[in-house]
Copies of this chain bind each other. A is one copy, B any other.
Amino acid sequence: MKNKARSFFNRTHISFSTHGVCWPKGFRSAGMAAGIKKENALDLGLVVSDFPASAAGVFTRNQFMAHPVAYSRDVLKKYKRARAILANSGNANAGCGKYGKAVVLSSVQTAAKLLGLRSQEVLVFSTGRIGQKFPAEKLIRNLPVLISSLKIKDALFSTSILTTDTMMKTASAEFQVDGKLVRLGASAKGAGMIEPSMATMLCFITCDAKISHALMQKALNEAVNQSFNRITVDGDMSTNDSVVLLCNGASGVRIINDQEKGYDFFRQSLIHICRSLSEKMVEDGEGATKLIRINVSEAASEKDAEEVCRSIGNSMLLKCAFFGNSPNWGRILSSIGATRAKFNPLKVKIVLQGKICFQNGEPDFEAAEKLKNRMRKKEITIDVTLGAGTKSSFLVASDLTYDYVKINAH
C-alpha cells in the first residue's frame, strides 16, 4: 500500500480504491462478536481517531429515529467534533423507549471512560431489528476487549456492522495537496436497500485532512444527495440511516475554503466514495440479481424527474419483470403515467437497454422481441425523455426476487 501511495505522489488527480475506515492516517478500528447477534457473528465495532477530529453527519428523517441516532445527531450538532464511533448490528435499538435511551447513555459513558475521552467525543449507531430489548450488558461487558483489539485494519469493523449484507462494503480515495497525501476511507452497510426505507444503511467515512465542520458538512450533503439519496425516497428512510464523516488532520493538510483545489478533491472523493458504496448496496440488495439504472431527462422540474425515477424504480411489477429477464417496457410506460409529473404523452421517449421502445406516441411493437437477449444482462438501463423541460435525475434500483421474499419473511 505504501508503494502505491508513493507512486501516486507525482500525479495531480484523485486515485480511488476500496480500503475502509483505517486507510487515512490516525484511525484504528476493531470488531468482535459480543453476542448481540446469534451464532457468534461479528456484531460490535469501534472506530477511533488518534487525534481530535471534526465531525459531520447526515441522518434519517424518520420520525421514529432510533435512540442512538437521535443521541449522536444531537451531540454532533452541539459539539461538531468526535473521536470514536461505536456501532453494533443485530439490534436497532429503535422504538425501545426509556430503556433504549438508557442503553445509549451507558454505552457512551462506558466507552468514553475506557478510551480516556470525553463522553461527547463518542458517537453510537445501531442496526438490526426494531423494538427488541437491547442486550446492554453484552455490549458493556465486551467493550474492554473491543478497545484492546483496536488496530490499523478495518476488516473486522467493516464486517461487524453488516446484517443481511452478503459482502463487506468499503471505498477509499487519495489525492495530494502541496505534495502532501490526503486519504479518505469508508466502511458501510446496507442490503435491505431496495431503497433505504426498507432497511438501515450506515456509512462511516474517515479522512486525515484538517477541515472545518461547515465545509465538511457542505461536501457531505452534496455527496449524500448524489448517492444514497438516489437510491431512496426523500423523507422515507429507516429509523437508523446515518452517514458520518470524521476528519482528524493527521495528514498535515489543511483545507480552509471551498475555492481551493484541495476542497474540490475532497468533495469529489466524497462523492465517488458515496456513489460507489450506494451502488454496492443496491448490488447487494436482499436477493437482488440486477442493478437497474434509471435516467430521466427533459423534465419540467427536478421534482418531476425524481418522481418519475421513483415511480419506475419502486414498481414491484417492473422489478419482478426484470428479475425474469422480461422486456416488458409497457410497465415503464404505466409507471411514468402514474406520476403527476408534467408531460405530453406524445413527447415521451422510452429507451430500454439502448433500444427505443416508445416515442412520438407510437410503440415499437417488435421492441420486446429484439430486447430478449439484452435483458439477461446484470445491469439494466432505462432512459426516459419527458420532452417537457431541461431538468433531469437518476436512480439506481434492484430487482425483486424470490430471495427478497425469503430473507424478509423468515
Q: Which residues of A are in contact with B by a Cβ distance under 8 Å?
A: 62-65, 92, 94-98, 129-133, 192, 194, 197-199, 235-239, 311, 315-317, 320-321, 323-324, 326, 328-331, 333-334, 336-340, 343, 345, 357-358, 361-363, 365, 367-368, 400-402, 404-410
Contacts and interface: CB of A to CB of B under 8 A. Distances in A.
Nearest to A234: B340
User: Nearest 7 pairs between A and B by C-beta?
Assistant: A130-B330, A324-B409, A64-B337, A320-B408, A131-B330, A97-B362, A62-B337
Contacts of A404: 316, 320, 405
Given A192-B317, A198-B317, A64 B402 contact: no
Contacts of A361: 97-98
A194 B405 CA distance: 15
Given A131-B329, A132-B365, A365-B132, A334 B239 contact: yes
A408 B331 CA distance: 11
Given A333-B95, A345-B64, A131 B400 contact: no
A409 B328 CA distance: 10
A338 B66 CA distance: 12
Nearest to A200: B334
Contacts of A237: 338
Contact of A130 (B235, B331, B345, B407): B331
Given A92-B330, A317-B199, A361-B97, A345 B405 contact: no
Contacts of A320: 404-405, 407-409
A127 to B, nearest CB: 12
Contacts of A410: 324, 326
A401 B405 CA distance: 6
Nearest to A340: B235
A323 B409 contact: yes
A326 B337 CA distance: 35
From A197, A402, A409, residue with most partner B Cβ within 10 Å: A409
Contact of A405 (B95, B96, B129, B405): B405
Contacts of A324: 408-410
A270 to B, nearest CB: 26
A330 B65 contact: no
17 contacts: A62-B338, A63-B336, A63-B339, A64-B334, A94-B334, A95-B358, A96-B363, A97-B363, A131-B357, A197-B338, A235-B340, A238-B334, A320-B405, A323-B405, A400-B405, A402-B402, A402-B405
A337 B239 contact: yes
A61 to B, nearest CB: 8
A197 B339 CA distance: 10
A301 to B, nearest CB: 16
